Structure 1
Amino acid sequence: MFFYKRIYTLILTFIIALNATSQSNNKAIPLKVILSLIEKQNNVNFNYTENILNTIKTTAPAKQLSLKDKLLYLENITDLSFENIDDKYINIFNKKSKKNIEICGYVLSEKDNCPIENANIHFEQAKTATTNQMGYFSFKKENETSFTISHIGFASKKITIAEILKTNCFTILLSPLVTELQEIRSNYFLASGISKSDGVFEIKPKKFGILPGLIEPDVLHAMQQIPGINSTDESVSSINVRGGTHDQNLFLWNGIRMYQTGHFFGLISAFNPYLAHTISIYKNGSSAFYGESVSSVVSISSNPQQTDNANFSAGINMINADVYSKFKITKKAFIEISGRKSITDFVETTTYKEYYNKAFQNTSITDFYNNQNINYSSNKKFGFYDITLKYFQKIGTKNQLILDLITISDKLRVLQKASNNNYASSEENTIYQKNYGGNLSWKIKWGTKNTTKINTYFSYYELDGAKNNAQDDQLLKQENKVLDLGFKLENNHIINSKLKFNNGYQFNEIGITNLETINNPKFYRKTKEVLRTSAVILEGIYTDTISRIYCNAGIRFNYIYNFKKYNIEPRLQFNYGLSTHLNLEILGEFKSQNSQQTIDYQKDYFGIEKRHWILSNNSTIPIQKSKQLSISLSYSKHQWLFIFENFYKKVTGITSQSQGFQNQLEFLKINGDYTVIGTEILIQKKINHYSSWISYTYNDNNYDFPTFNPTKFSNNFEMNHVISWAAMYDKKNLKIALGTRWSSGPPETTPVNNIINPANPLLNFNKPNNKLLSSFFQINLSSTYKWESTNGIQYKLGLSLLNILNKKNEINEYYKISALTNTVEDVKTFSLRRTPNLSVRIQF
């Protein structure tokens, strides 16, 4: 009985509950409550304005109905329209005012928040709209559920209207369409870590692979692998870019102009190869912010983009040892120190001996030895070092302060003695060469569109030489000093995603002193000159990656206070992608230079450093000016790279004493110009871990001295044909490079005959540079291997071999009258013989 009562009670309870539910479903409740229930049941979101729902009450649709049927049910019993978007978003409109809803917004660049004008708004029904100058757009909503925004140079973006209905006027950010176009940038040029972009060659030592004969990322040696850049005497102190002299190149280290570029009298670069972060090399089309050069620009920057982790490295090779350290002071500041010193104080390696023989052949130092044959002794001491210091400080989020200091020093002392019977002679030569520099840089970021850089720098160069001949009681001293002070202001403005505008001002004061004294007979000569210049710079940069156009057009207005003279220098870099793989590049520039190196006598500074710096006086020493134009085509596809470039270059205002003549023009002081027309070709292929390239350079380089007869003849630095080839293997930790270099010989001037009247010993020369030396040929090899220990210390071993075949390449030849026999003496200078080098390096 009790069991049946329990069953009856349960059935009655179920009927009451079902009835209650039925009554509840039929009861009118606020529509907002019903929508909330549907959102939970069907996982959707309703979008609406509060005023159209506040007064509406109705009964809820059955839970078991589909979403579509629920919406249809509500639409039939209300005066509302329900717009279903992908079963995720449902827009609710009043049927009477649905067509009056206005959608508006702003389209901006995600990179710099600049308004994007003429952006296209596309709808599914083919209706379109565009943005105005402020990036604003608006339209009346009809049946659209989404639209797409697009603009050239930006990634398109699809917008769902349901996403923005709750916002009165929304902002849309478009991402710039970044395409690293192969026709504009060659990320692998000759070797890893070297790239070519918009006429600029960039070397990043930290990513540097390997080149033949190099085991270190030495910028001044590496740049000689680029077509059009050579050194007729294998010296980094005599780099010739498209036929120009070394002093016509502008070398900058962190904004400091460097007047000394080599150690060991040009055989080793003066810049620590393990320090620089980026090296930029311009053969043509340099920025208007670079002045004081009529040839190339080499800008070495060791400024990092961020205060990365501290590290330490040290290494040694058969010439020098170096150390590098970087450590943080605070989260926003660090100090970077590097030092390098020759090891010749401790040991004379095979490499050192080959360098020494190359540097001092046919100088007064070897001449002394050649004139002695009995009881000869020599005590020589040679050494060099360079030190750099960087202090980096971030101040807040918008300011950055950098202090750079550099010291470069070379010292040579040679004491020679000889005796023959009762006759004794001795001679002491000393030479000091040094370059100090400092730069204080302040960068201010005013916002996303504007930055300002302020630089103030100094550079001090000194070359001192002394020759003491005890037998003749004669002491000769020579000095060449340069003090360069500079200030530069640079403003960068981003106008929009395609256009940038830069402007600035630069002031320079250069003072040069030359001194020469002799005690017997007494002679004293000292000259000091100071030149002040100002420059106003304007530059506009246009970049459109979609149309494949890059254009950098600038102009530099120079004013020389001493001469009250203006000089205008336009600059141009233009790149156009003819197709996805084919690129056209046009570079042009006008430049000028007020300082230069000259040679009074070939035996100045004992024939080792014959050049000293002087300033223009606007008359006998004119301002050098250059104009250059080059047109190139480059093709890049499937790891192939072809570059074909033609160029024209003319430099006016040169002096004969700056060209290093050793013929009938040696002691003349005349002015002229030179013109170069040339072609440069590069073919490169990379296959997995292997790469190879071959380059060819042709140039026709001629002087024009109007007051000399003949007026036109070949340039001293002309190399008609240069061919280079290299093959490299680069996989993981092992790198190997083998390369050859062949070039036609530079010109020489031969005497008319070898018969000279002893009573009147004079040299009679043929036409200047009437003959070419024998061709130059060399094969070089280099290899590096690195590994890492379990405790994180990295080791690197390097081996190089220059001139594997030990070929005796003649690099210079001149003629003089022998003081002993009054006959013509043929003097020849040769390149480095077979020279090995070995390096070991650690880093952590």
Structure 2
Amino acid sequence: MSGSVVDDTNQPVAGANIIVENSSTGTVTNDRGEYSIKLAQGDFTLKITYLGFKTIRREINLKSDKTLNFTLDPQTEDLEEVVVSDNIEKINIRDPEMSVSKLDGSSIKKIPVVFGEVDVIQSLLQLPGVSNAGEGASGFNVRGGATDQNLILIDDALIYNSSHLFGFFSIFNPDAVKNLKLYKGGIPANYGGRVSSVLDIKQKTGNSQKLKGEGGVGVISSKLTLEGPIQKDKSSFLISGRGTYAHLFLKLTDNANSAYFYDLNTKLNFDIDEKNSLSFSGYYGLDYVNINDSFTNIYGNAFGILDWSHKFNENITSNLNFSYSQYNYELDLALVGFNFENSISNFDLSYQIDHEINSNLSLSYGLSSIQYTVNPGEIVPTTADSGINPRKLNNKYAFDNAAFLTVNQSLSDNINIQYGLRVSAFLRMEDETIDIYEDNNPLLYDETRDIYVEAEPIDSRQGNTSRVNESFINFEPRLGLSYILDDNTSVKASYNRMVQNLHLLSNTSSPTPFDIWTPSGSFVKPQKLDQFALGYFKDFENIPFTLETEVFYKTIANRIDYIDGANLIANDAIERVILNGEGRAYGLEFYLKKNTGRLTGWLSYTLSRSEQRTPGRTPSEIGINNGDWYLNGYDKTHDISLTSSYELNDKWQLNSNFVLQTGRPVNFPVGQFEFQDLNIPVFEGRNLNRLPTFHRLDLSATYTPEKKNKNWSSSWNFGIYNVYNRRNAASLNFEQNSTTGQNEAVRFSIFGIVPSVSYNFKF
């Protein structure tokens, strides 16, 4: 028996449960809302469930192969439910998938955020094992990993920078997002290329029945989404845009500064016939920052995807995906008289087949190939007297090819297993110009001063960008296991090996748009992860709570480390300032959530440690930090989040969010000396100090007036970010007081208390 599950707008429902009552048989729908299950002939009662929708029960008399499609209707009294992970229904307790969190669009919109601008990344930060460098910081960190170690996909297109306005907002428009899935471990073999996590975001498919829309007007931004049929029941479109207008208020106050962003999402879907469908997804976003007409910064992402899904039969489906992604950065310094640009782009072609052998065994296998082009930078003088020489850094080219296989198998009523293998072949092409160093060593060690110094090339040669310079072939096994203690309890374990061949060059804890990617090559080795995780999962039968707790341990080989004083800006010989080190992280994650009732929400707690070490290459070298382990910039010993939503009545919904975190590691000076009337600070070791503890409380209330028009609904959202005006430190700067002459620590904070109001509507 096979078919599909859609909602009332004809959008596929991924993760819906198909359960055969009074048996241990069941399955879940895939990302396209499709399912397939093998049953013996006879009479059955099917139960189709998905949180937020009414349960369907259907009596089935099965005499031969049958196709059954289901449409789920919303269950309004359950709209307050927050869907975070798959482990709610009993069927998911059995799934060997672990270290995975889910959020849907409605859940994301409930969490209070700064300026009232709903944000996907801020929602992720409330989950265990996920953090960032602080307020206004770009990206996110998973289990002590760096932001560049997260694979971010929107409809399978690669994203290189997930932030707007240097991290204040993310590029993900929540009105265009159907759901997201964050893998922190137990990652299937079809994903690769990063060593920390996978964030897989799916956009809405568009309503094929009728024209609908939604939007909102906020303090600094507005948004509008339209969706509807191109040909009813056959094709649909979705277009969603948003933009900020805070810069317009700056002009009214004669402020010469300006900062804004806008983005546009689109998706087209075509059901060609019962076995074939096509979809196209696209995105374009741009950020613009201008400071007194002397500094202009423009950057943004763009991608386009063409996807073909084909159903061979009830048991075999395939997906062919072709995409192009690009990230551009431009900096114009009129004060100095030069323009700097860099970019990264890729073409990606992948083919995947999902094959269900029987109800106890299914396969997923395929191939992928990605071609990367990295432009590290080009400097162009913009005035005749700028004093800047034009310079073009070498473009870098690479191919990342892979074959993968994932097997899901039920070994018994109590044991389910997922295992797989990914084989990756990374080919780094030659640069246009190749520097040659004495003894092939671009980084020298001065034993007299115990410091590393850049080596000067002794020669150079012309390269051929169509010739392979270095190749890296790696085997990446994956394993997941679940042992069912009872219908509501399971223990799970997983192991992952993953390889990353793209590295972000950044010497800040929170990457900036200026940071540059570089592929593995002669002196930059692939990062290699080994991660182990063990978890206990409980769906309480008589009370509306679920519990997830996991411990993890991971090591990363060949993690880039920078020598003291490393210059990463417009550096065409990055091999002269880096060393290959290693990293490790381990911890405990606790996650308790209440799923039903007027009060819903969750409590998450993470206890962890994340460290890095770079020993010397020879016994005479001291390495970085004397070769000792040191805390990396993403370590947070304690991380607590408490998120709640209370349905006061039909008109009012109250939301809250409390966060408490250990301050991130930093360096404070331990002394100083004077040189030519200047005070020079002295530092010892790396990340021996911490910023003060971070904590914050956010509140919001949503008012939904009574409908006066059945075709129009609206709501008002009132929020207070940082209710008690906590001045959390983004940094501590040590300065000399101009009055007393004494040294002092000055706290720099980004946000105090921030009220907001927004109006949202649907039609």
Shorter-normalised TM range:
0.7 to 0.9
Choose which of 323, 327, 334 in structure 2 pairs with 1:457.
Answer: 323
Aligned partner of 1:797: which letter?
W
The 3 A distance-change label for structure 1 pair 211 and 521 is closer
Contact 1:319 1:349 (C-alpha < 8 Å) held by counterparts = no
Contact 1:755 1:823 (C-alpha < 8 Å) held by counterparts = no
User: Which residue matches 1:358?
Assistant: none
User: Which residue matches 2:530?
Assistant: 627
Residue ranges of structure 2 left out of the alignment (5+ in a row): 4-21, 28-39, 52-74, 88-96, 429-469, 568-575, 616-622
SS in structure 1 of the partner of residue 134 of structure 2: coil
User: Which residue matches 1:515?
Assistant: 377
| Partner Cα separation in structure 1 for residue 223 and residue 180 of structure 2 | 20
Choose which of 629, 646, 651 in structure 1 pairs with 2:551.
Answer: 646
SS in structure 2 of the partner of residue 347 of structure 1: helix
User: Which residue matches 1:699?
Assistant: 608
User: Which residue matches 1:52?
Assistant: none
User: Which residue matches 2:578?
Assistant: 669
| Partner Cα separation in structure 2 for residue 509 and residue 659 of structure 1 | 33
User: Which residue matches 2:266?
Assistant: 389
| Partner Cα separation in structure 2 for residue 278 and residue 304 of structure 1 | 11
> How far off is 1:515 after superposition?
1.8
Query: Does the alignment pair 1:499 with 2:361?
Result: yes
Aligned partner of 1:684: which letter?
K
The 3 A distance-change label for structure 1 pair 189 and 281 is farther
> How far off is 1:685 after superposition?
3.8
Alignment of 1:246-325 (within 5 A): 246-304=147-205, 307-325=208-226
> How far off is 1:572 after superposition?
2.6
Aligned partner of 2:356: which letter?
I
Per-residue CA deviation, residues 431-465 of structure 1 (Å, 9 max, x unaligned), is 00111100000001111111110000000110110
Moved more, 528-537 or 631-640: 631-640
Query: Does the alignment pair 1:554 with 2:427?
Result: no
SS in structure 1 of the partner of residue 138 of structure 2: coil
Contact 2:207 2:227 (C-alpha < 8 Å) held by counterparts = no
SS in structure 2 of the partner of residue 561 of structure 1: strand
Query: Does the alignment pair 1:339 with 2:241?
Result: yes
Contact 1:193 1:208 (C-alpha < 8 Å) held by counterparts = no
The 3 A distance-change label for structure 1 pair 724 and 270 is same
The 3 A distance-change label for structure 1 pair 378 and 826 is farther
Choose which of 718, 721, 725 in structure 2 pairs with 1:802.
Answer: 721
Contact 1:626 1:651 (C-alpha < 8 Å) held by counterparts = yes
User: Which residue matches 1:433?
Assistant: 299
User: Which residue matches 2:440?
Assistant: none
Alignment of 1:56-75 (within 5 A): none
User: Which residue matches 1:77?
Assistant: none
Choose which of 697, 707, 719 in structure 2 pairs with 1:779.
Answer: 697
The 3 A distance-change label for structure 1 pair 628 and 817 is farther
- What is the aligned-residue identity percentage? 22
Instruction: Normalising by structure 2, report the TM-score.
Output: 0.76
Residue ranges of structure 1 left out of the alignment (5+ in a row): 1-109, 113-149, 156-170, 354-376, 417-427
| Partner Cα separation in structure 2 for residue 510 and residue 825 of structure 1 | 47
> How far off is 1:222 after superposition?
0.6
Query: Does the alignment pair 1:483 with 2:349?
Result: no
Contact 2:555 2:584 (C-alpha < 8 Å) held by counterparts = yes
The 3 A distance-change label for structure 1 pair 579 and 209 is farther
Query: Larger radius of gyration, structure 1 or 2?
Result: 1
| Partner Cα separation in structure 2 for residue 634 and residue 600 of structure 1 | 38
Aligned partner of 2:589: which letter?
E
The 3 A distance-change label for structure 1 pair 659 and 541 is farther
Alignment of 1:805-820 (within 5 A): 805-813=724-732
Higher relative helix content: 1
| Partner Cα separation in structure 2 for residue 207 and residue 700 of structure 1 | 29
Alignment of 1:568-717 (within 5 A): 568-599=475-506, 609-619=513-523, 621-637=524-540, 638-657=543-562, 668-685=577-594, 688-706=597-615, 707-711=623-627, 712-717=629-634
| Partner Cα separation in structure 2 for residue 601 and residue 467 of structure 1 | 22
Per-residue CA deviation, residues 194-229 of structure 1 (Å, 9 max, x unaligned), is 333432222111465723447665321111100110
> How far off is 1:468 after superposition?
1.9
> How far off is 1:580 after superposition?
2.5
The 3 A distance-change label for structure 1 pair 747 and 561 is closer
Contact 1:191 1:211 (C-alpha < 8 Å) held by counterparts = no
User: Which residue matches 2:474?
Assistant: 567
Per-residue CA deviation, residues 171-195 of structure 1 (Å, 9 max, x unaligned), is 934658769899xxxx999961333
The 3 A distance-change label for structure 1 pair 691 and 505 is same
| Partner Cα separation in structure 1 for residue 157 and residue 563 of structure 2 | 23
| Partner Cα separation in structure 2 for residue 326 and residue 783 of structure 1 | 28
Alignment of 1:141-540 (within 5 A): 153=25, 172-173=41-42, 175=44, 192-197=82-87, 198-199=97-98, 200-206=100-106, 210-213=110-113, 218-235=119-136, 237-304=138-205, 307-331=208-232, 332-347=234-249, 379-415=256-292, 428-469=294-335, 474-517=336-379, 519-522=386-389, 524-540=391-407
Contact 2:117 2:218 (C-alpha < 8 Å) held by counterparts = no
| Partner Cα separation in structure 1 for residue 188 and residue 346 of structure 2 | 21
Moved more, 667-676 or 711-720: 667-676
SS in structure 1 of the partner of residue 124 of structure 2: helix
SS in structure 2 of the partner of residue 222 of structure 1: helix
| Partner Cα separation in structure 1 for residue 188 and residue 369 of structure 2 | 17
Contact 1:233 1:831 (C-alpha < 8 Å) held by counterparts = no
Contact 1:189 1:196 (C-alpha < 8 Å) held by counterparts = no
> How far off is 1:832 after superposition?
1.6
User: Which residue matches 1:51?
Assistant: none
| Partner Cα separation in structure 2 for residue 398 and residue 756 of structure 1 | 76
| Partner Cα separation in structure 1 for residue 508 and residue 243 of structure 2 | 31
Contact 1:193 1:205 (C-alpha < 8 Å) held by counterparts = no
The 3 A distance-change label for structure 1 pair 644 and 285 is same
> How far off is 1:814 after superposition?
5.3
| Partner Cα separation in structure 1 for residue 566 and residue 718 of structure 2 | 38
> How far off is 1:688 after superposition?
2.4
The 3 A distance-change label for structure 1 pair 263 and 762 is same
| Partner Cα separation in structure 1 for residue 651 and residue 522 of structure 2 | 56
User: Which residue matches 2:752?
Assistant: 833
Per-residue CA deviation, residues 651-706 of structure 1 (Å, 9 max, x unaligned), is 222222499999xxxx9522212111101112334562013533221112111111
> How far off is 1:763 after superposition?
3.5
Aligned partner of 2:216: which letter?
G
Contact 2:673 2:681 (C-alpha < 8 Å) held by counterparts = no
| Partner Cα separation in structure 1 for residue 103 and residue 565 of structure 2 | 31
Aligned partner of 1:699: which letter?
S
Moved more, 234-243 or 453-462: 234-243
| Partner Cα separation in structure 1 for residue 262 and residue 427 of structure 2 | 37
Moved more, 225-234 or 749-758: 749-758
| Partner Cα separation in structure 2 for residue 308 and residue 658 of structure 1 | 60
The 3 A distance-change label for structure 1 pair 478 and 601 is farther
Aligned partner of 1:803: which letter?
N
Moved more, 387-396 or 830-839: 830-839
> How far off is 1:328 after superposition?
1.0
The 3 A distance-change label for structure 1 pair 588 and 600 is closer
The 3 A distance-change label for structure 1 pair 220 and 699 is same
Contact 1:599 1:658 (C-alpha < 8 Å) held by counterparts = no
Contact 2:205 2:238 (C-alpha < 8 Å) held by counterparts = no
Choose which of 639, 645, 650 in structure 2 pairs with 1:728.
Answer: 645
Aligned partner of 2:241: which letter?
G
Instruction: Normalising by structure 1, report the TM-score.
Output: 0.69
> How far off is 1:623 after superposition?
1.3
Contact 1:154 1:177 (C-alpha < 8 Å) held by counterparts = no
Contact 2:207 2:228 (C-alpha < 8 Å) held by counterparts = no
How many aligned residue pairs are there? 632
